[in-house]
Amino acid sequence: MIIHRDWLDIPDSSKGAVLAIGNFDGLHVGHREVLRIAQQLAQTHNAPLAVMSFEPHPRDFFQKYSHPHRIEPFHTKARQLRDFGVNIFFALRFNQKFASIEAADFIQHILSDSLQVKHIVTGEDFSFGFRRAGNGAMLQNCGLFDYTIVPAVKILGEICSSSRVRNAISSGDMCTAQKLLSRPYQTSGRVTHGEKRGRLLGFPTANIYPSPHLLNPAFGVYAAKFSCVDEKSEIWHEAVANFGTRPTFNKNTPLLEIHGLDLNKDLYGKKITVQWLKYLRAEKNFSGVEELKAQIGQDIEQAKKILA
């Protein structure tokens, strides 16, 4: 898959594509339906399949000081698009200059003149241009290319959207998140040295500090799985994950602690991917170490039953 970070000076090999446009944050079921339709049209037109998205996410640009809301990092989205069969990824830099482009200019100068697209595919809530003045009707009526609008997909009786995925993750509802994403919600990070308190308690953990740019799940304990990114083969290990500030030990920095149920080896420095499968309980301030150890034992038994 070829990645372009700008819309100027595009080579001829990247022109004339069927283009799906959207933020594609999380690449949920609704996004995949847009891509599926675009892929069919690309085959019909004998044209490349392309995706246009925006980096950073426009919400990150306009709401710089709000809580992180991005579901997955750029490299994860790019890998998923590649695996879907996308040939060209226009990951356009979103800045003040780009945000100021009028909708009509976006259509004429970027989509038509520069990219020379054959067909545009979007979801039904797509808007674009300065102050989001552009919509599907403008694309439909411009006469410069064909346009297909894909109706929203419903999951569990409601529209599947990135906002709904975020709400599920931030509330710890990983079962709903998995249905919306069509896969378990995952995060990745590098294992760092901690205070080795888990090892002293008899439950050694791999510790990861969450990315400050990504949405955080609800604090609490989860049944989970993890794999080591650096390994040649993808092997998933059962685990209990605790995400929070560890109030029993008077900490206030969020930390993800993963205790492997079927793997006991040194993971320091390794990058691992964690699948968040089921929320077990909220974070709790225990009266002492013995009460904490007893609860961890209960968490492990509950996680084993779920993972079985």
pTM above 0.85, yes or no: yes
Position 250 scores a pLDDT of 57
**If DSSP states are collapsed to H, E and C, what string results for 284-304?**
CCCCCHHHHHHHHHHHHHHHH
Continuous H helices in 27-150: 29-45, 58-62, 74-84, 96-99, 103-105, 136-141
Contact by Cβ (8 Å): 66, 26: no
pLDDT score of 127 more than 90: yes
What average pLDDT does range 63-80 have in this prediction? 86
> How is residue 206 written in tokens?
């791999």
Taking each continuous run of H as one helix and of E as one strand, the counts in the chain are 10, 14
- The residue behind tokens 């346009």 is 147
Contact by Cβ (8 Å): 115, 17: yes
Q: Which domains, and CATH codes, for the chain? A: 2-156 (3.40.50.620), 184-307 (2.40.30.30)
Residue 193 confidence class, pLDDT cut points 50, 70, 90: confident
What is the rounded distance in angstroms from the CA atom of residue 137 to the CA atom of residue 147?
A: 10
pLDDT score of 245 more than 60: yes
pLDDT score of 47 more than 80: yes
pLDDT score of 200 more than 60: no
List, for residues 90-123, the tens digit of each pLDDT value: 999 999 999 999 999 999 999 999 999 999 999 9
What is the rounded distance in angstroms from the CA atom of residue 288 to the CA atom of residue 53?
A: 49
* Cα 158 to chain centroid, rounded: 20
Which parts of the chain are beta strand (E)? 2-4, 18-21, 49-55, 88-93, 119-123, 146-150, 154-155, 158-159, 185-190, 206-208, 220-228, 237-244, 255-260, 271-281
Position 100 scores a pLDDT of 94
- The residue behind tokens 């990504």 is 214
What average pLDDT does range 243-262 have in this prediction? 81
- Which CA distances in Å does 138 have to 41, 126, 128, 145? 20, 11, 10, 11
How do beta strands 271-281 and 185-190 pair? antiparallel
> How is residue 46 written in tokens?
């004998």
